[in-house]
Chains A and B, each alone.
Chain A
Amino acid sequence: MKARPMTRREMIENCIVKGTLLAGAATVSQTKLLGAWQAGEQAMRPTPTEVLGPFFKRGAPNVQVLRQPGDPGFPLQVTGQVWNTRGEVIPDARVEVWQADFFGAYDLEGYRYRANVRPGPDGRYAIETIVPGHYDARPAQHIHYLVTAPGHRALITQAYFATDPFFDGDPDKYFAKGGVVQNRELVRPVTLYESATGGVAKITFDLVLEGA
């Protein structure tokens, strides 16, 4: 597993412990040290927020596999990790996701393509689903997220797909088209891999929560 880069806070703490800062302490003002420390407190930027939308449904099941055999739509794997802004994983978060089916419809009667998953101790989550369909009201394919964790502000956001025809092949240029997507960061690169049952698309979407 690839090691997570050291946060600025950890780097400062490391330096202090090893005494490397002490040599220059006489020339570094307390204000500058405090500033460096505060910067470390914001090691990761919070994930940009988006609207909750009208189709949130309370009571989604704790399932990781949202697609069923024979479902129309291109298989999709979504993985990510839940962090706080200090760059620490949040092990006790809840990640709630919901999306439209291949035809662009949300299940309002049941809980198809809805899940409320609990990340592992390392903050990692994963779901197996399909690439959502398009619908007129929000014409970019997207997955809704509601992420909650004790001591943190609830995060409401959405993940989009860089391969979505909506972005005309250039999400850097067209991500804001029609005012649908508020932040380029939410348009995730899509990779393809071959599984035993065929092609699967994959995106990674890390989630960074602010303290309450």
Chain B
Amino acid sequence: MNRHVVVALACAVGVAFGQAPNGGSVIETGRPVVRVLFSSDSRAVAGFMPGGIGFWDVASGNSRGAVSWEDRYTPGIAIGTSLDRIAAVGDDGTVSVWKAADAGTPNAIGRVDTSPAVSILSLDGALLAHADHQERRLRLWDTSSGRLRFAVDTGIGHTAALAFSPDGSLLAGANGDTGLYVWRTEDGRVERVIDDLHLVTSALEFTPDGAFLISGGVDRNIYVWDTKTWRRTRQFGQPHPEPIWALDLSPDGRLLVTAGGLDGVPNTPAHLVLWNFESGTELGRLRLTRTATPSVALSPDGALVAVANGENMIHLWRISDLRR
């Protein structure tokens, strides 16, 4: 996976670097972080916050800059896996894409009749997907030309997760009706509907070679789907301790992390679990400080894991410390 950070210096964000109560480090962000990603060299970490995206040096915790925009862009934001483009839906329904290198000059590529609070975005280098909770529509744009490739009905429920295949030919979506849907990005044709799950899937990711789709959700299990037959080829022998809200696979496909908790239920545990993806065995776990829906990312060098869960900080742990 080609991850590369082009840091856009729009404003500096005050930071502090400290120790997390459960052994890791924390980067104080000053604003709640809802999603986290690493740069390709594993030296920087990016965090989504209301009003922008901040970048921090993982070694020192110092700010490496930020892309900021008005507060009217709050949720419904996405950043490409290459970290070079950023997309957001404004309060007026305008869908905009920034090149991180020249942040501040958004390119409006479309409009949706929705509130950003009820939509999710997924972005790879060339494509932007937008799923609308109220309209129950999925739209796909070419980010360069702004061309709307297709808009399709997503069925009964909202879209809980989206993931592009590595070659960009497929888009997988998890629906609130518990189904997994796979669309061809070329024309919006449904490639497959997987409807044998009973609870909602919250997290999806393709393996780097595109051969498998990994899913995790409210039933706590981790499933692996063959993208040729769309049959479930594996289920990890042991589930995550709580409902899964996020997962990330390392770029070499060896390590998987899952994060979960009983969202919003006080005094209940939440955990981060490290897995050997090949064998499906647990390598280690630690307890998270908050049950709110987390975002989790593994660094490309396989050394670090980052978690954001709506607090004013990014948590960082060394993988070596996470192993039993």
Please list the residues of chain A having a beta carbon within 8 angstroms of any beta carbon in chain B.
49, 51-59, 104-105, 108, 135-138, 146, 148, 154, 156
Contacts and interface: CB of A to CB of B under 8 A. Distances in A.
A56 B243 contact: no
B118 interface: yes
Contacts of A58: 177-178, 197-199
B265 A53 contact: no
Contacts of B160: 54
7 contacts: A51-B176, A52-B156, A54-B202, A55-B199, A58-B199, A135-B265, A137-B263
Given A56-B178, A108-B219, 8 more contacts: A53-B176, A56-B157, A56-B176, A105-B262, A108-B220, A135-B265, A136-B264, A148-B156
B134 interface: yes
A51 B265 contact: no
B176 A108 contact: no
**What 9 pairs between A and B have smallest CB-CB spacing?**
A137-B264, A52-B176, A136-B264, A52-B157, A58-B198, A154-B156, A58-B178, A135-B264, A135-B265
Nearest to A100: B265
A64 B262 CA distance: 27
A77 B160 CA distance: 32
Contacts of B133: 51
Nearest to B242: A108
Interface string B241-274: 0010000000000000000001111100000000
Given A104-B265, A108-B219, A146-B156, A56 B177 contact: yes
A46 to B, nearest CB: 13
Interface in B190-216: 197-200, 202
A164 B99 CA distance: 47
Interface residues of B, number: 25
Given A59-B198, A108-B199, A156-B157, A54 B218 contact: yes
B35 interface: no
A58 B196 CA distance: 9
Question: SS class of chain A's interface: helix, strand, loop or mixed?
Answer: loop
A197 B220 CA distance: 39
Contacts, number: 60
B178 A136 contact: no
Contacts of B292: 137
A18 B55 CA distance: 75
B270 to A, nearest CB: 13
A72 to B, nearest CB: 16
Question: SS class of chain B's interface: helix, strand, loop or mixed?
Answer: loop
B315 interface: no
Contacts of A52: 156-158, 176-177
A209 to B, nearest CB: 13
A156 to B, nearest CB: 7
Contacts of A148: 156
B265 A136 contact: yes
Contact of B264 (A57, A108, A138): A138
A117 B243 CA distance: 27
Contacts of A135: 264-266
A154 to B, nearest CB: 5
A105 B265 CA distance: 7
Contacts of B265: 104-105, 135-137
A51 B156 CA distance: 11
A49 B136 CA distance: 12
Contacts of A55: 199-200, 218
Contacts of B197: 58
A54 B197 CA distance: 13
A52 B155 CA distance: 12
Interface centre among B197, B243, B265 (most CB of A within 10 A): B265
Interface centre among B156, B160, B243 (most CB of A within 10 A): B156
A156 B156 contact: yes
Nearest to A138: B264
Interface string B168-191: 000000001110000000000000
Contact of A54 (B118, B176, B220): B176
A52 B118 CA distance: 12
A56 B198 CA distance: 8
A56 B197 CA distance: 11
Contacts of B177: 52, 56, 58
Nearest to A139: B264
B81 to A, nearest CB: 24
A54 B263 contact: yes
Contacts of B178: 56-58
Given A56-B176, A108-B218, A51 B200 contact: no
Nearest to B117: A179
